[in-house]
Amino acid sequence: MVNPELLEILVCPETKQPLKVADESTLERVNSAVDGGGLTNQGGDRVKDRIEEGLVREDGKVLYPVRDDIPVMLLDEAIRLDTLD
C-alpha cells in the first residue's frame, strides 16, 4: 500500500493533476484487459502482469501501476483508462 503521506504529494508527471488510489472496479477493468492480452501501456509495451494496486489521475484517464508498494510514475508505464472497453 502506498504511504498516505507520499500520496499527498504525488502528482501526474504529465499534467500535474493529483492522484488517488485505484478502486476495485478500475483494477478489475484493467486486469480483465491484461488477462485478454490486449492491454498496452503508453510506451506501447504489452502489460503482462496483473495490476494489484495503482494510482489514478484526477481526471480518471490514466493509471500508474504500484509495484512492491512503489508507485511507477513513468509516462511510458502509465495505462490509459479512457481506452478500455
Question: Taking residues 24-28, what's their average pLDDT?
Answer: 97
Q: Is residue 85 part of a domain?
A: no
**Mean of the per-residue pLDDT values of the chain:** 95
Q: Structural domain of residue 19, as residue ranges?
A: 4-80
Tally of domains within the chain: 1
User: Taking the alpha carbons of 3, 74, 9, 60 in that order, is the dihedral positive or negative?
Assistant: negative
pLDDT of residue 84: 86
* Nine cell digits for residue 71: 508507485
User: What is this structure's pTM?
Assistant: 0.93
Q: Collapse the DSSP code of 15 into the 3-class scheme (helix H, G, I; strand E, B; otherwise coil) and give the result.
A: coil
Phi-psi region of 9 (alpha: psi -120 to 50; beta: other; left: phi over 0): alpha
Tell whether 44 is covered by a domain.
yes
Which bin fits 25, alpha (ψ -120 to 50), beta or left (φ > 0)? alpha
